[in-house]
């Protein structure tokens, strides 16, 4: 858990799981820097967090190396880096309809982005610090239309293990969420979002869909667990069992 005097940089913290992580860290006394591409979304996130005095917003695109380098030249020392960002719009398609450019954007956001964060951010982290990324259930329970996301999540978990070795003693881990009620489902299921989530809730052993706060709890656990690295923490309500 990030505590008082910790400095936490959260990429994708302007909505969904990342925003929940930001709130949890702020509530625990940490200083939080939220990074996102969209100024309007950053401003909305600032308002939802009540313009907290320990909150800073920075606009940057983590798929652009010059912007990532500039970001870490600006923010100074950190204790933790968290990335929940994912640009998967247009990548949930059956193969005949798959747009390769959409697939490439998804890869850039979830593989190259975290790789650049590690490359340029590791030097900003304290030796006891951590990097926490997000993969997902699609790597284990892929569905039709999900080949791109399944591939990306599996690759990201390999990246986590490699970074944990190369960047030691920094800790590098991932949380693998299951089905979580976040805005991303608008792109995945459209107007059938509620129906789709309710059907899955009935199947899961825990009897409900995940919330952003569930994932935030897991991420902050990994941030504070100093004997955990190279690990994927599954937070999916038993989805791998069904």
Q: Tell me the pLDDT tens digit for each residue of 43-94.
A: 999 999 999 999 999 999 999 999 999 999 999 999 999 999 999 888 989 9
Cross-strand bridge partners of residue 31 = 7
pTM over 0.85: yes
CATH code reported for the domain at 7-237:
3.40.50.720
Structure tokens at 160: 């986590």
Q: Which long-range contacts (CB under 8 A, 24 or more apart) does 91-98 make?
A: 91/148, 91/149, 92/145, 92/146, 92/148, 92/149, 92/187, 92/188, 93/145, 94/144, 94/145, 95/147, 98/147, 98/148
**CA-CA distance, 42 to 34, in Å (whole number)?**
8
Domain ranges of the chain: 7-237
The mean per-residue pLDDT over the stretch 3-11 comes to: 89
* pLDDT higher than threshold 70 for residue 214: yes
* pLDDT higher than threshold 70 for residue 187: no
Q: How confident is the model at residue 89, as a pLDDT?
A: 87
Q: How confident is the model at residue 21, as a pLDDT?
A: 98
**CA-CA distance, 102 to 106, in Å (whole number)?**
6
User: 29-55, pLDDT tens digit by residue?
Assistant: 999 999 999 999 999 999 999 999 999
């Amino acid at each position: 858990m990030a505590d008082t005097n910790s400095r936490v940089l959260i990429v994708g913290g302007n909505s969904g799981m990342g925003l929940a992580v930001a709130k949890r860290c702020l509530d625990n006394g940490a200083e939080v820097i939220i990074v996102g591409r969209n100024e309007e979304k950053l401003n909305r996130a600032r308002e939802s967090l009540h313009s907290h005095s320990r909150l800073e917003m920075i606009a940057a695109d983590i798929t652009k190396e010059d912007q990532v380098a500039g970001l870490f030249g600006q923010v100074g020392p950190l204790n933790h880096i968290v990335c929940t960002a994912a640009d998967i719009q247009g990548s949930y398609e059956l193969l005949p309809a798959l747009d390769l450019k959409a697939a490439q954007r998804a890869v850039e956001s979830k593989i190259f982005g975290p790789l650049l964060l590690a490359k340029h951010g590791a030097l900003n982290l304290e030796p006891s610090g951590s990097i926490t990324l997000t993969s997902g259930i699609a790597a284990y329970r892929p569905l039709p239309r999900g080949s791109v996301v399944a591939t990306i999540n599996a690759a990201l978990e390999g990246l986590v293990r490699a970074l944990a070795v190369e960047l030691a003693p920094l800790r590098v881990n991932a949380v693998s969420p299951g089905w979580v009620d976040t805005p991303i489902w608008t792109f995945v299921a459209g107007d059938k979002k509620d129906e789709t989530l309710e059907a899955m809730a009935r199947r899961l052993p825990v009897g409900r869909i995940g919330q952003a706060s569930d994932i935030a709890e897991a991420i902050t656990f990994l941030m504070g667990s100093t004997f955990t690295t190279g690990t994927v923490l599954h937070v999916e309500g038993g989805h791998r069992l069904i």
